[in-house]
Amino acid sequence: MILLRFIVLRIVGGIAMLLAVSAMIFLMTDVLPGDVASRILGRNPDPERLAILRAELGLDQPLVLRYVQWITGILKGDFGNSLISGQPVAETLGRRVLNSVLLSALALAIYVPLAVLPAIVQAVNRDRPLDQAISAVSLAILSIPDFLLATLILIGFVVLLPLAPARSIIEATSTWGQALHAMILPAATIALVMATYAMRYLRDSLIEVLQTDYVRMARLNGTPQRVLIWRHAMPNALVPFLNVTALNLTYLFGGVVVIEQVFSFPGFGALMVGALLQLDVPMVQATVLIAAAVYIIGNLAVDLATLALNPRLRHVG
Amino acid sequence: MSADIRLSRGPLPLSLLLGSFLCGSILVVAIVGPWLAPFGPTQLGTGTPLSGTSLAHPFGVDQLGRDVFSRVLHGTWLVLFLSLSGTVLGFLAGGILGLVSGQRGGWFDWLVMRGCEVLISIPILVTALLVVALVDTQTIAPLPLIIGVIGFVYAPRIARMARSAAIEVATRDYVTAARLRGDSGLRIALVEILPNVSGILLVELALRAAYAPVLVASLGFLGFGLSPPTPEWGMIIAENRGLIFIAPITVIGPGLMLALLVVGINLLTEGLARIIDRSVVRTT
Amino acid sequence: MSVRIEALLRVNDLGIRIGPDDIVRDIALGLAPGEVLGLVGESGSGKTTIALALLGHRPEGAAIFGSVAFQGRDILTLPPAALQAVRGRRIAYVPQNPTTALNPARRIGVLMAEQLAVHGLASDRERLTGALKDVGLVEASRVLASYPNQLSGGQQQRVVLALAMLCAPDILVLDEPTTGLDVTTQALVIAHLRRLRDERRIAMVYVTHDLDLLSGIATHMAVLYAGRIMESGPATEVFDSPRHPYTRALLAATPSLRRPDHRPQGLPGTLRRDLVGAGCPFAARCSNALPRCAADLPALAELAPGHLAACHVLPLLPLPDTTALVHPDRTGSDCSPILTARGLSVVYLPTGMIRRAAGVPALSDAAFDLHRGEILAVVGESGSGKSTLAKAIAGLLPGLSGQLSLDGVPIAPGAGRRTADQRRKLQFVFQNPDASLNPRRRVGQILADALRAAQPQLSIAQKAAAIASGLAEVRLPERHAARYPDQLSGGERQRVALARALIANPEVLICDEVLSALDVSVQAGILTLLEGLCHQRGIAILFISHDLSVVRHIAHRVIVLYRGQIIAELAAHKLMDPPHHPYVFQLLAASQGQQTQQVAAMLPGPGCPFAPACPVRIMQRCERHPPAWSKGIDRLRCHHSPSDLADMLSLRERLT
């Protein structure tokens, strides 16, 4: 029961954090130098038009009131209307979020084996040529900025070896096969970026676990190597790996912006960048909030998964 | 017991040498590049537009007739300056905040940490884009803005790290001994705690410094912050993106420079970490 | 050493080398069923390396020579599959640290079942519970379902022993299996091992640094120094007539309640493996060394049947004198107390998000007087509150209730609120020398820091002089001032910690288990140092320890703690004399290797704290009512009268 209480408290904490973040986002879009309205209208705006725009945007009402209106709207599913298109934000948002979720799922599916298998090979062959070679390659890929990597992959697999479409568009009418075909390149790129980053941590963590007393003990008890790795070492080594993956999750719904641009993928990130460039305030608020929400929820999930994998923590009082 | 570790360092690791070489070279390029560059950064008509690599134009010529190689040379100092200043700013702000917070504890620590968590919830790139988009470039010039943004983005993350390092060291016996004899909080922080967390902090600094150029370039690539025709590497890549099937070198060239810089910093980090590791306390 | 032809295990010319350095060399051992071979050595002797080699394990990057023959087959050359079949099944390893040896993410039952499955044996529940019951873990079902961190240190150690015994091996290799355990638990484990030895004829290799412990179980012994065997033979012979100078020095340095009048004597210097030359490795520290010893490596020679030693000087040495060395009686000082404590109580409140109802009292109503020039020992096992007491007096627990006075003046519970002068007078020496010195400061700087706080008015020249004399006082060469802590040995670091406390010119020194992290040969040196300080400088010392044998020699008076309460207070030299408090009796018996009778467990109540575990408890009375103090300077708290206790509890003669 203590465990349940802990979980509940953690979830409540997550919600509180989300609220705090939403407040901060709202504040930021309001308080930073340069009024949004005057930015939209450019330099030396006509004061009358400014006042009208302000009233239209609701900028003349007190801050707290506007914030509360916004939050209550969200809880009802209403994110406001786009300043540019006039359409409800929720509609566009929904489609794009779905696209990005699909992309992320595919990317994660590629990422896990891509990170885990080489890490195991490295840990077992520690400091030998194979380990160093994998490290070198991984470091090289890691150092290439993601937009460049995306660009190179684009050239490579569209021009040199035409395997995938130049623009990764998926529409509501696409079949699963078409969607997969369209998403494979950006998903692979994302997976590659995440995997090279996480591989280092997993390798180090595995090496550390393989050197612990309890693994040595199992070895001295006659346990074969394969069992040692998969049943003794991996579960304990996974915990830091999960943490790193959680860190990467923020990348999936935020930093992956650039990759979406390169592949022209109609995802969440592109929506956010577009909104920022055009200062479509309600869209900006909605997208940034969702990016933060993914981070918070993702971390919560990782914390709970850690508890499941590491029973020792369950009984800390 | 091991022999005197401090005197006999042993050979410097390969990563350190290679990393220093790369970073050093790029630093040199930053300083003398503008003089050595064959053309100006905005100079038009330097050669056949959209041409590929050649001796006169190693990185080709873009669609406006500008020599891409010269533009890259001219932009080197910009990337270095923005990345380093931003990282140092974030490091100073976050480091001090984290160390103090970790040492003081109590409500102050709680408040600072919750604040950091809120800021960290929004991904780095998103925060950067948000701030840059919303700040009026009339009020704040683009260069200080980018430096400020990098600092703002890094500070909470570094603060969190510095705080946990400070807490871990603060429980050690020699810190307790210092407290028992009445040493002031400042003295303990500087003499007992700081030298023992410096290793971790240095590694973190290098890690962030390695990402900073990518952050700057990403901003430029997406069109935020600086305005054309500034020869910022990210912007150059973005501008030449349309030529990618005709003259790919105009994109790969600046990209390669960026990659080399990041590799250099990463190697430097690794080398430094190895050296620090060697001078760490060894117990029997 | 067994001369039997069908030895179970025979090690020949075993050598392990990493790069150019030998870790161990020329190791020859033999083991027959029912024999327990004690492998004795201090840190750096290579004993753990040898133990692991018996299972075919070698350190990373090491080359291994010689042979380890188990029932005729050489383990070192077995193919991996055959080696896996031997490990855990025929030869089992019992590790030193049970906490780290058990996978924290798996339940005990799962671990045990897997151990059986790996060797193709059936893993039914009876077998598992039977194995646990065998080692004295009565609540077998609960243990099987638990994770390692839910068990105490003693229980973990027994689980690990059960794991080792699970496949009914022929040989057990035990690597310091009782280090870190309480004396009473230690006695339990040793008793169980004796049963295994006698009833099941299991052969054991018992690796330890504690000679005293071995006298309770070993049939044979091999003494190691710097990776070579110095002396080996039947245990009784090596104990009663040690021939090699190192063995004799080791025995001389080991305090023991079996030889209560023997004063431990330290060994000068430390083992420097990098300085060991071509000759005898012990030559540098040997008081009998000849020039020949440093140049010529002595070979193992047979002195008596089965008794071998490697030494050039041997034939010239007379047989050791085994009469007891008597030391002067120690009576306390008559001066007024420099430190008084009354009603000290500490309650630890649980922290974190999950709060339990009540706090745990770590210390209840402790009171004592410490006089000038006196050494007062505070003795207890883990959980007794002795560390809490030390921290409380040092000023690390601001939540302390009760009264503390220094030199007649009350002092605040928290060090932050005491005056600088009070802080200077009361100095603290930590247990672990590796953690108590700032690794980034040189020794001289560490001492200067302490000096600055204690005597800020000194000039630079005076400070330098003080640092120099401070180092001399703890017998460290002046050149050590320029060194960093990681360039010193454990014993040297502890001396620096001591010097740091002394340089402030204190009147009271609190020593919190300052010997626990040190080798036996080094401990005696520190003890002598502390005694000297007490006599010459008149410093009062509060000596926290769990080791009764050490305490008997160094202290004037002893107070014994159990579960946060003081239950006895007496003169140190009267420790072995009746009447004994039942708990003290248990400690004494355990220290002599005797296991006292087990008592049915009971929940602690408001009465005597020892009631749940007391073999002579009076039902109802002891549980409900706290006992009163007996009369006299040497007193105890028990519902039984001292004369009754003297009748009921008497220390039996030492069992062989």
Q: Is C227 helix (H, G, I), strand (E, B) or coil?
A: coil
Looking at mean pLDDT, say which of A51-65, A241-255, C32-46 comes out highest: C32-46
**pLDDT at C2 (0 to 100):** 46
Say if CB C157 and CB C189 are below 8 A apart: yes
Measured distance CA(C575)–CA(B17) in Å, rounded: 65
What 3 state SS string does chain A have? CHHHHHHHHHHHHHHHHHHHHHHHHHHHHHHCCCCHHHHHHCCCCCHHHHHHHHHHHCCCCCHHHHHHHHHHHHHCCCCCECCCCCCEHHHHHHHHHHHHHHHHHHHHHHHHHHHHHHHHHHHHCCCCHHHHHHHHHHHHHHHCCHHHHHHHHHHHHHHHCCCCCCCCCCCCCCCHHHHHHHHHHHHHHHHHHHHHHHHHHHHHHHHHHHCCHHHHHHHHCCCCHHHHHHHHHHHHHHHHHHHHHHHHHHHHHHHCHHHHHHHCCCCHHHHHHHHHHHCCHHHHHHHHHHHHHHHHHHHHHHHHHHHHHCHHHHHCC
Any A CB within 8 A of C109 CB:
no
Any A CB within 8 A of C351 CB:
no
**pLDDT at C351 (0 to 100):** 56
Any B CB within 8 A of A274 CB:
no
Q: Taking CA atoms, what residue in A is nearest to C357? A: A317
Of the partner residues B138, B222, B259, the one whose CB lies closest to the CB of residue A145? B259
Measured distance CA(A205)–CA(A239) in Å, rounded: 9
Any B CB within 8 A of A41 CB:
no
pLDDT tens by residue, C270-319: 777 777 778 888 888 888 888 888 888 888 888 888 888 988 887 666 66
| Cβ neighbours for B68, distance < 8 A, ≥ 6 positions apart | B57, B59, B60, B61, B62, B236, B240, B249, B250, B253, B254
Of the partner residues A6, A311, A315, the one whose CB lies closest to the CB of residue C105? A311
Joined together, the tokens standing for residue A66 give 């506007």
Indicate if the pLDDT at residue C193 is higher than 80: yes
**pLDDT at B249 (0 to 100):** 83
Pick the residue with more confidence: C398 or B232?
B232
Pick the residue with more confidence: B31 or C31?
C31
Q: Which run of H or E residues covers position B190?
A: none
pLDDT tens by residue, A61-73: 777 887 888 888 8
Q: Is B74 helix (H, G, I), strand (E, B) or coil?
A: helix
Any B CB within 8 A of C633 CB:
no
Q: Which of C103, C112, C356 to mutate to test the interface with A (most CBs of A within 10 A)?
A: C103
Q: Taking CA atoms, what residue in C is nearest to A237? A: C105
pLDDT-derived band at C428, boundaries 50, 70, 90: very high
How many angstroms separate the Cα of A263 from the Cα of each of A161, A197, B233?
16, 22, 20
Which alpha helices (DSSP H) does chain B contain, by range?
Answer: 14-36, 68-104, 106-121, 124-134, 142-170, 173-180, 185-187, 194-222, 233-239, 249-278
pLDDT-derived band at C331, boundaries 50, 70, 90: low
CB contact under 8 A, A34 and B224: no
**pLDDT at C654 (0 to 100):** 40
Indicate if the pLDDT at residue B281 is higher than 50: no
Contact map slice: A 188-217 vs C, CB within 8 A: 212-217
Q: What is the DSSP string of C286-341?
A: -TT--HHHHHSPPPPEEEETTEEE--SSGGGSPPPP-SPPP--------SPEEEEE
Instruction: Name the burial class of residue C274, with classes exposed (0-12), middle (13-18) and buried (19+) by CB atoms within 10 angstroms of its CB.
Output: exposed
pLDDT-derived band at C656, boundaries 50, 70, 90: very low
CB contact under 8 A, C88 and A221: yes
pLDDT tens by residue, C478-534: 999 999 998 888 889 999 999 999 999 899 999 999 988 888 888 888 988 898 888
Percent residues over pLDDT 70 in chain C: 92
Any A CB within 8 A of B164 CB:
no
State the average pLDDT for chain C. Answer: 85
Pick the residue with more confidence: B271 or A72?
A72
Indicate if the pLDDT at residue C324 is higher than 70: no
Rounded mean pLDDT, C405-414? 90
Say if CB B159 and CB B94 are below 8 A apart: yes
pLDDT-derived band at C593, boundaries 50, 70, 90: confident
Rounded mean pLDDT, C422-445? 91
Measured distance CA(C470)–CA(A51) in Å, rounded: 79
Q: How do strand C220-225 and strand C36-40 relate by DSSP bridges?
A: parallel
* Chain A environment of C97 (Cβ under 8 Å): 213
Measured distance CA(C445)–CA(C441) in Å, rounded: 6
Q: Which of C21, C440, C494 to mutate to test the interface with B (most CBs of B within 10 A)?
A: C440
Measured distance CA(C456)–CA(C452) in Å, rounded: 5
**pLDDT at C619 (0 to 100):** 82
Residues pairing with C171 in the sheet: C91, C203
**pLDDT at C232 (0 to 100):** 93
**pLDDT at C203 (0 to 100):** 93
Any A CB within 8 A of C179 CB:
no
In Å, how far is C112's CA from the nearest CA of chain B? 32
What 3 state SS string does C523-544 have? HHHHHHHHHHHHHHHCCEEEEE
pLDDT tens by residue, B91-105: 999 988 888 888 777
Give the lowest-confidence range in A171-180, B16-25, B29-38, C173-182: A171-180
**pLDDT at A39 (0 to 100):** 58
Rounded mean pLDDT, C410-416? 89
Rounded mean pLDDT, A204-222? 87
Q: Which of A124, A214, A315 to mutate to test the interface with C (most CBs of C within 10 A)?
A: A214
Q: Which run of H or E residues covers position C364?
A: strand C360-371
**pLDDT at A165 (0 to 100):** 67
CB contact under 8 A, A221 and C92: yes
Percent residues over pLDDT 90 in chain A: 5
Indicate if the pLDDT at residue B284 is higher than 50: no
Say if CB C29 and CB C220 are below 8 A apart: no
Contacts A–B by Cβ distance under 8 A: 131
In which residue are the tokens 């004396």 written?
A: C183
* Chain B environment of C43 (Cβ under 8 Å): 284
Measured distance CA(A271)–CA(A84) in Å, rounded: 12
Of the partner residues B2, B177, B181, the one whose CB lies closest to the CB of residue C454? B181
Indicate if the pLDDT at residue C91 is higher than 90: yes
In Å, how far is C132's CA from the nearest CA of chain A? 18
Q: Which run of H or E residues covers position C226?
A: none
pLDDT tens by residue, A136-184: 888 888 888 888 888 888 888 877 766 666 666 666 666 777 778 778 8
Q: Is C428 helix (H, G, I), strand (E, B) or coil?
A: strand
Distance of CA A173 to the CA centre of its chain: 26
**pLDDT at C355 (0 to 100):** 43
pLDDT-derived band at B123, boundaries 50, 70, 90: confident
Rounded mean pLDDT, C211-236? 91
Rounded mean pLDDT, B115-140? 83
Backbone angles phi, psi at B5, to 5 degrees: -80, -35
CB contact under 8 A, A28 and B138: no
Rounded mean pLDDT, B146-151? 94
Any B CB within 8 A of C453 CB:
yes
Measured distance CA(B150)–CA(B167) in Å, rounded: 26
Measure the CA angle with vertex A20, ends A15 and A26; round to 5°: 125
Measured distance CA(C441)–CA(A39) in Å, rounded: 57
pLDDT-derived band at C354, boundaries 50, 70, 90: very low
Give the lowest-confidence range in A54-58, A228-232, C252-256: A54-58
pLDDT-derived band at B2, boundaries 50, 70, 90: very low
pLDDT tens by residue, B231-247: 888 888 888 887 777 88
**pLDDT at A96 (0 to 100):** 87
Indicate if the pLDDT at residue A315 is higher than 60: no
Say if CB C567 and CB C610 are below 8 A apart: yes
Q: Taking CA atoms, what residue in C is nearest to B192? A: C438
State the average pLDDT for chain B. Answer: 81
**pLDDT at C234 (0 to 100):** 93
In Å, how far is A234's CA from the nearest CA of chain B? 26
**Amino acid identity for residue C481 in this structure:** A
How many angstroms separate the Cα of B256 from the Cα of each of A136, B250, C2, C167?
17, 10, 72, 61
Indicate if the pLDDT at residue B6 is higher than 50: no
pLDDT-derived band at C39, boundaries 50, 70, 90: very high
- Total Cβ atoms within 10 A of residue A9: 12
Indicate if the pLDDT at residue A275 is higher than 90: no
Rounded mean pLDDT, C539-553? 90
Joined together, the tokens standing for residue C605 give 């109540």
Give the lowest-confidence range in A127-131, B149-153, C436-440: A127-131
How many angstroms separate the Cα of A245 from the Cα of each of A112, B34, B129?
9, 42, 23
Indicate if the pLDDT at residue A189 is higher than 70: yes
CB contact under 8 A, A236 and C105: yes
**pLDDT at C596 (0 to 100):** 67
Any B CB within 8 A of C438 CB:
yes
**pLDDT at B5 (0 to 100):** 31
Q: Is C636 helix (H, G, I), strand (E, B) or coil?
A: strand
**pLDDT at C653 (0 to 100):** 47
How many angstroms separate the Cα of B234 from the Cα of each of B56, B252, C349, C610, C626?
23, 12, 56, 75, 79
Indicate if the pLDDT at residue C448 is higher than 80: yes
Indicate if the pLDDT at residue A313 is higher than 70: no
Percent residues over pLDDT 90 in chain C: 29
